[in-house]
Structure formats: C-alpha cells, structure tokens
Amino acid sequence: MKIPINLASQPFRRDRAMLVASIAVSLALVATLGGLISLILMDRSQLADVRHDVEQLNRQIRKVAQDQAGLDTVLRRPENTEVLERSVLLNELLYRKGISWTKILTDLGKTLPYNVRIMTIRPFVNKDNKVTLDMQVGSETQTAVIDFLKALESSPLFESASVPASQAPTQTEPLFRSRVLVNYAQKL
C-alpha cells in the first residue's frame, strides 16, 4: 500500500499554460487599446476639420443672408414696386412656360383608358410650386371614369386625384362628364 505524501511547502501546480495565455490576452487588450486611442485621436482631428468647415459655411450663410436683406430693402422701396411686380409676373409666366404639353399628353396617354376622352385640360402651378391638372373628361359609362382615376392613382407621375364635380348625360351631350383635379409630378 502506497500513501502519497507531499513534503513540499506548496503543492506543484501546472500554471505555466495559464500564465502564457494571460500574457497573450493582456498583449491583445493593450494592442486593442492602442488602436482605439489612435481612432479617437483621428476622429477628434476630423471633427475639428468638420467644425471648421461648418463654421466657414455658417459665415457664408450669414453673409448671403445680409446681402439678401439689403437687396430686399432696395426692392421694397416705393420707387421699385413696379419693377418688383413686373418681376413677379415674369417669374409666374416662366413657371407656366416651363410646363411641357408634350410630356403631359404623353404621360396621360399612358394612363388614359380607351373609352375615356379628355374634353379640356388646364395645367396650372399651385401654391406649393407643383403642377396641377384641371381636366374635364367624358365617357359613356361612369365605371370608365373610375378606371381612369384608379390608373391615375397607381401611376407614379400623378397623385391626389379628385373629382369635385360630375355631370350625367343629357340629350345634347351623351357622355358622363367629370371634372378631375390631379397633381402632376413634372419638374419645373
């Protein structure tokens, strides 16, 4: 019978592998810390550059706003009101001129069912600077007009179609007439 007796003051343990692994993990953590510190310093320098650019742009915006305010005061003088009114009129005319009839009719031709006729069409620019089409359409059946409205709503070029007025056929006019308002996505 053998009795294991350890006469050493501290028993023998195999800690070398654990010590080597701890050192390796510590070195990896120190390397990661160094990488994070370098990223923080680079981010700080980039942020300083961005702040400088933003401040420069803000100065430019303030300068342009001051120039605009000076020009507005000149335009608002009583002797310049006629020029201002004429300028507003010309700008409105240019907006109207920017509406392309060819593009409107091409886009409507893609969505218009075969049994619906456009009687009148009047494009105008609304207060949001969007082109709105005011149309008078006619059809032999009311369902054809509904199909036209569905086609307008499903098209990406038209939005918010509404029918503010509708008229039943009469002896002189055998078609259902409907007034259709729709926003058109043409860029001015």
What pLDDT sits at residue 165?
Answer: 78
Please tell me the distance from the alpha carbon of residue 144 to that of residue 152, in angstroms, as a whole number. 12
Cβ–Cβ < 8 Å for 149, 161: yes
pLDDT tens digits for 47-102? 999 999 999 999 999 999 999 999 888 878 888 888 788 887 887 777 667 677 78
- pLDDT band, residue 4 (cuts 50/70/90): confident
User: Which has the higher per-residue pLDDT, 102 or 10?
Assistant: 102
In 46-173, the DSSP E strands lie at 116-125, 131-139, 158-167
Is the confidence at residue 121, as pLDDT, over 70? Answer: yes
pTM: 0.49
Q: What is the pLDDT of residues 124-159, one digit of tens each?
A: 777 777 788 888 888 888 888 888 888 888 888 888
Average pLDDT, the chain: 84
Rounded to 10 degrees, what is the CA torsion of 176, 181, 186, 188? 130
CB 167 within 8 A of CB 178: yes
Predicted confidence (pLDDT) at residue 163 exceeds the cutoff of 60: yes
Nearest one of 60, 84, 58, 63 to 72, comparing CA atoms = 84
Cβ-Cβ contacts under 8 Å for 101 (sequence gap 6 or more):
123
Q: Is 178 helix (H, G, I), strand (E, B) or coil?
A: strand
Q: How confident is the model at residue 8 (pLDDT cuts 50, 70, 90)?
A: low
